[in-house]
């Protein structure tokens, strides 16, 4: 009960800024946990950012497979965050993911963060590039990340069935869950076998470790009504 009380006080203080909840204090991983377990040591805080870095941690670079999720769940929300990749980097941010399934991508849509010009997955289609709803909706023409290694700013607005994803101030893509177009795209991809994909109306925000260095900062969210 004491721990719960501390968390509630912290959340109340975070929400004082116009309804925005700061999800990363710049110093600790307070408010975050691992996916279905403790935080993996590849997740660290360095120079005011959450980083995923496999240097000095057992494992093979490029394989990844760990996740960092919020303690809280969010349904209708506006999320803002900054991020940067190393050359050839690959990562993503899932939303409305639940631990009903083994991996967050089996329930939640992924906001893709990819160095599409260097990473092999970039050749599989523009719906793998940064700003895309991964393997569903590509970023709009003219929407591109800044130079690799520099900070980008992303935003996700999810209200009911409607979602908008922004990259560096521009609308990258938008869609409606369970529209005819959405169902068609899901049916022709790997999501077709994931029966709970896109079903939850509320879930965790999840950062992905895809085996490459990625950094996050300025992570904040506000709930929409």
Rounded to the nearest integer, the mean pLDDT of the chain is 88
Per residue, the 3-state secondary structure of 48-90, as one string, reads CEEEECCCCCCCCCCCCCEEEEECCCECCEEEEEEEEECCCCE
pTM: 0.88
What is the distance between the alpha carbons of residues 86 and 110, in angstroms, rounded to a whole number? 19
pLDDT exceeds cutoff 60 at 90: yes
pLDDT exceeds cutoff 90 at 60: no
Superfamily of domain 2-223: Exo-inulinase; domain 1 (2.60.120.560)
pLDDT, mean of residues 159-179: 98
At residue 168, the pLDDT reads: 96
* Torsion, Cα of 18, 22, 26, 31 (10° steps): 160
């Amino acid at each position: 009960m004491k721990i719960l009380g501390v968390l509630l006080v912290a959340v109340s203080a975070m929400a004082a800024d116009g309804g925005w909840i700061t999800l990363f204090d710049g110093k600790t991983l307070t408010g975050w946990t691992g996916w279905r377990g403790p935080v993996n040591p590849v997740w660290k805080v360095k120079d005011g950012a959450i980083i995923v870095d496999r240097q000095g941690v057992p494992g093979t670079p490029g394989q990844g497979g760990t996740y960092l999720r919020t303690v809280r769940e969010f349904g209708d929300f506006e999320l803002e965050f900054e991020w940067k990749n190393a050359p050839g980097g690959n990562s993503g941010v899932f939303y409305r993911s639940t631990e009903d399934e083994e991996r967050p991508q089996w329930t939640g849509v992924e906001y893709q963060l990819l160095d599409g010009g260097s990473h092999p997955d970039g050749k599989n289609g523009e719906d793998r590039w940064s700003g895309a709803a991964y393997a569903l909706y590509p970023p709009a023409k003219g929407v591109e990340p800044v130079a690799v290694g520099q900070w980008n700013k992303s935003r996700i607005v999810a209200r009911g069935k409607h979602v908008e994803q922004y990259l560096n101030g521009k609308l990258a893509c938008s869609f409606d869950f369970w529209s005819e177009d959405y169902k068609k795209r899901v049916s022709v991809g790997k999501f077709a076998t994931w029966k709970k994909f896109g079903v939850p109306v509320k879930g965790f925000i999840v950062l992905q470790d895809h085996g490459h260095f990625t950094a996050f900062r300025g992570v904040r969210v506000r709930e929409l009504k």
